[in-house]
Structure 1
Amino acid sequence: MSGRSRVIAVHPLIWPDCRNVRDLAGLPTTTGELQPDRLIRSDNLDQLTPTGRAAVEALDISRFVDLRSAWECETWPSPYADDARWRNVPLWDPGDRDVSDLDLFEMYRILIDDYNARVASAVTAIADAPPGAVVVNCHAGKDRTGIVIALTLDLSGVPEDLIATDYATSEASASTILRLLGHVRQRYGGTRQYLLGSGASRAKLDVLIARLTT
């Protein structure tokens, strides 16, 4: 990462009453840039009004990757829960250890280190979706979504400073996700090696990069 911060063009999507939705198109990679209508991050879709639902349906969305726990999905059901495009890939389970008293980086690190198979499943859920846009969401669209999106962007060759800038758009501290990416690099040798060691195949990761960048 360079010492200078760069400004990126944010592509917010108006999905009433969601408040943290954006298309990640235009982020530069080592081979080009992320293409439009390929990867969208969002907060909880149960907030969608009829106008919001219409805005979603106006796009060619092939999969909704919902990272919330089963309890959250039951309490705040997604309007797409009965839709074949919806896939629940919970990163936290109600039976997991309570980490609510830890700082964000430590929470993220535990998720990366102790529940790596879940994280890899979330990333591969983007890779094996049918052609079209993939929406990744959790509750606020910041933490769980932020981790999965950061790893996906890093795998695709987006510079770390721009990954951090996107993360910070969700009213978060850029330093948190930079620390996490540094941890992945130092402990696992980088995002690609981390995902391969967590159950993702080389073919799936290559497909993911291709669908986002070509």
Structure 2
Amino acid sequence: MTSLTWPRCRNARDLGGLPISDGGQVRAGALIRSDNLDQLDSHGLAAVQAAGVSRIVDLRSAWECEKYPSPFANDERWLNVPLTDPADPDVGEQDMFEQYRMLIDDYPHRFAAAVTAIGDAPPGCVVVACHAGKDRTGLVIALTLDLLGVPLPAIATDYATAPETTTTNPLPELAPPHPDTILHVLAHLSMRYGGTARYLLQSGATSSQLTALTDRLH
């Protein structure tokens, strides 16, 4: 994975180069994860164009998209696939694994829609983004990488890679990501659903969509 210089975005990186268990690697220039693109300046917007982006999967709620509109909101490449909704129960005081587990268990169709949006995109690079590029993006990327066969330690390392923060806010979602959190999520998927692929198939994804996803990222 390679950190990208997208001015005013602090958490953008290309996931190309991550190892796959079959001996291959995630293809460079195929999948980028990022924080909120509304922060981009003109140089950042030019960098997105230069990356050959064909789809931006914006995981923010409709409320967030209205309050902090994406500069690509009127672009056909932008696709809003909300992973959370303001009407969802407030779980902010739960630890991060429990927050993630409830999302996974309560809203499986949201994850299926987000992951298949990557595989269904037109040819080119896909960007997955939310607000901080850490939690919602971290979950969708972790499921995608697990589906590809990226080893668990590499998934955990990617998840835990984030800009340093000086916040002292006690809320769990504002703490730096810890690799064990995402490993516990993937273990939960394995134990309860039989793995990421079965979870997504049970949640509305088709086998052809999952195949298209793995093919485009190899």
Fold agreement, TM-score > 0.5: yes
Query: Take 1:133 and 1:30, find their aligned partners in 2: how far apart are those partners?
Result: 22
Give the one of 130, 134, 149 matched to 1:138. 130
Corresponding residue SS for 2:6: coil
- Structure 2 match to 1:189: 194
Task: Kindly indicate whether residue 192 of structure 2 is the aligned counterpart of residue 201 of structure 1.
Answer: no
- Structure 1 match to 2:7: 16
Please tell me the residue identity of whatever aligns with 1:154.
Answer: D
Query: Take 1:159 and 1:30, find their aligned partners in 2: how far apart are those partners?
Result: 6
Give the one of 92, 100, 113 matched to 2:105. 113
Corresponding residue SS for 1:64: strand
- Structure 1 match to 2:16: 25
Instruction: Give the CA deviation at 1:172.
Output: 1.1
Query: Take 1:57 and 1:28, find their aligned partners in 2: how far apart are those partners?
Result: 27
Please tell me the residue identity of whatever aligns with 1:194.
Answer: Y
Corresponding residue SS for 1:135: strand
- Structure 1 match to 2:36: 44
Which structure 1 residue ranges, 5 or more long, are not aligned?
1-9
Instruction: Give the CA deviation at 1:100.
Output: 1.0
Aligned positions, number: 204
Corresponding residue SS for 2:182: helix
- Structure 1 match to 2:91: 99
- Structure 1 match to 2:69: 77
Which structure 2 residue ranges, 5 or more long, are not aligned?
163-175
Query: Take 1:99 and 1:71, find their aligned partners in 2: how far apart are those partners?
Result: 18
Q: Which runs of 4+ in 1 moved over 4 A?
A: none
Query: Take 1:96 and 1:212, find their aligned partners in 2: how far apart are those partners?
Result: 32
Aligned-pair RMSD on alpha carbons? 0.7
Percent pairwise identity: 63
Corresponding residue SS for 1:41: strand
Please tell me the residue identity of whatever aligns with 1:208.
Answer: L
Instruction: Give the CA deviation at 1:15.
Output: 0.3
Q: Scaled by the length of structure 2, what TM-score is found? A: 0.92
